[in-house]
Structure 1
Amino acid sequence: MLSFFKKIFQKEPLPLPEELKPEELEDWLKKQAGKISFNLYLKEYLRQIKEIKVQLAEGLKKLKDQEISEADQKQVEARIKNIVIGHKNNYTNEIEHFLQSLSGPVFEKEHFSSREDYKEAIVFTEKLNHSLDQLAKRTAKSYQAAQHLFFDHVEHLFKLLKELNKLIKGFEIKVKENKINDLEKLFEEVFILTEEIQKKNNLTQEIKIKEKKLSELKKENETETKNLKKLESSPEFEKFLELKKEEEKLIQEIKEEEHKVFSFFFKLSKALKKYERIALENKIIKQYLEDYLGAFRKDPELEIVRALSSLKKGLDSLNFDEKQKKNFLELIEKAEQGYLQKISVQIKELDEKKEGLNEKINKNLSPEKIKEKKKEINNLTLSIAATIEGLDNFKSILEKINLENSRKEISRKIKEILKKEINLNLNLD
């Protein structure tokens, strides 16, 4: 007996949540949407609309065919009769036009079991409701006027339209009761979740690709950096550095000799400027005054020395004081004694040495190899930086994708709308 009562009062075990994967969710939801009682209601709802349509068509024909009664023919003025008949015709025309909105593909369906079916019925009803509102506005006066002589048939049509309006309001209530709009939003959330999962998978894959690329770039950069160090410590490059030092030394020596030339002619510039105006050798003097070093290098025969000798002879006529004359004479005599000749020979020898040295430097390819290697390393460094930036960007986007919140919200809404418990497994690894 005790066991009997235990069985009576024992609670039924709660059904276990259905285990679902994200890719199964949409199909599962479609099946569940087809099981709700709303589909049976829709069938009956549309049947009633079709029935009202038939009754409206019949009532419309009767109203069109109805003549004014004999009593009204005698009692009502002709002008009033014409006005009422005009309103009756307008009323019947508007209802006839309205009947066209009571047709469509939705009436051809035998079963309503998908979100698309529900959506089609909702759209149809929204349009029908709008048409009914417009009909009421357009026939308000005609309805009242036509009642005066055709009351029964006009009132019959009005009651049918009122019944149709009641059906529409009932439909709207059923949509809310069955949470059809919420169901549609649920489908949208499932679609968004699917998109987010795909986005997360794509990002995860891209991150793996970029991480692999980054690792390869770093290894390549490390290898090329080692190769650069080898080039920089190679005997060939060491020889190049030695040659460059020699070149620098030669350049310095050339500069020193050129400075001697510059200093020499700078000290003589006042005398040369005055003498240029009267000298037979004014052309060579002018060249030197414009560019001491340039003219000196273009004067291998040192024609300037002959011009200086002429200057020496005419120095007294140039009105310089004794001290200046003395300085100018010392410089001219120095040139006559071979000072400029010695510098010219020295510069020529240094130029020849530098030319030979440059030939050796140009034949040494190590600087070009190092330059190319540095360029490669720089490009690798830029690629590494760009890859890191892209990687950080992908990771930042990935962190913002919160699938867990979506999972919980979808599970909650499924329980609320469909009275079903699910366990949505988001294990994407």
Structure 2
Amino acid sequence: MEFKINFSGTGHRYTKEEIDTVVEAMQNADPLTQGKYRDAFEKKFCEYNENEYSFSLCNATAALELAAQMCLFKDGDEIVTPSHTFTSSVYPFVKKGAKVVWADIDFDTRVVTLETIKKCITSKTKAIVVVHLYGFIIPDIQKIADFAKESNILLIEDVAQAMGTSIEGKKAGTFGDFGIFSFHSHKNITTLGEGGMLTVKEKKYADIIPMLRHNGHCGFDYEREHYWQPAMGELDLPNLNGENLLPNNYCLGEVECALGGKLLDRIDEMNAQKRERAVKFIDALKEFDDLVFHKVADDRHNYHLLVAYVKNGKRDEIMKKLVYEKKIKCVVQYYPLNRYPLYQKLGFGEANCPNADEFFDNMISFPFQHWMSDEDFLYMLEATQEVMIELK
């Protein structure tokens, strides 16, 4: 089916300056991985997001894998995580041995709260995974962080969709023990399709992540007479709290790092432009009570996605008209994870998340890529108004 407006898998286009940065790195990086561009990107990211330690990775799932690995789960340990999120927020922790307890979302903000999390806490809770979904920083994030610290529970912030958002002057990804960022093709900045960043607060994590990221490689702890004796580099088991961890290979290439560093110059501008458009769209549709948006006109929201809850069971009627008559590819996100066979077969099919279920069953996600033209944006807005009038 041909669409007039597609739900694009590419969040933004590149400027000539950004393309030139890629070409320069392609021609001059030596080697093409783990070099000066990586170091510069990580340093610039720390400065931008105000993190103590940042580590570039091949994607955000790899960052979640490392965070899960460093949780050091024991038999019976549990994580609390929203059911309403993308699967990679959760399965890395299952792979490392954690049992899942699903937390519900707040119906208005579509993210977890301290209250919904507390309902899931048991004596076996080892970690909490929170997701700043749709580009909105969780209003309770400081309270959640304080609660986690008081309860000796690790806090993982999934900031894959919310980079650049902040609350009371503090950016998403600076509250938890671990911060996860994505530069996937669909995100607000992308390093040529894939990419991620892992941030940590504590030095004990920062000391071992380079080894965990790159096959256990490290430097020798003694002076060698010749650099080639006994080998080019040492190979060891990263050790955390007395436990040896097997390493991985999750490095991000130099070209991607060079581009990522350049895109940090533009992320705030792109976020502001998307937010301005989102507010315009929401305001123009405010007369239609059946469409319920989440309007936030400040840095708490970057509108990675533009979504609405549809009242009165009209979601499919609206979507059919938008898709088949107006040729606008709207989608539905995110299927509650406990409903998937993957999690049901693992024994995590039960959840008490009525808000997540109700929201998913009645939501619409509109195409909202940054590069959408003004003409297409206006067409989508007017088409939506026409559909809502027809179905009123």
Query: RCO higher in 1 or 2 (8 Å CA, sep ≥ 6)?
Result: 1
| Structure having the larger proportion of residues in strand | 2
TM-score by length of 1: 0.18
| Structure showing greater Rg | 1
| Structure having the larger proportion of residues in helix | 1
TM-score by length of 2: 0.20
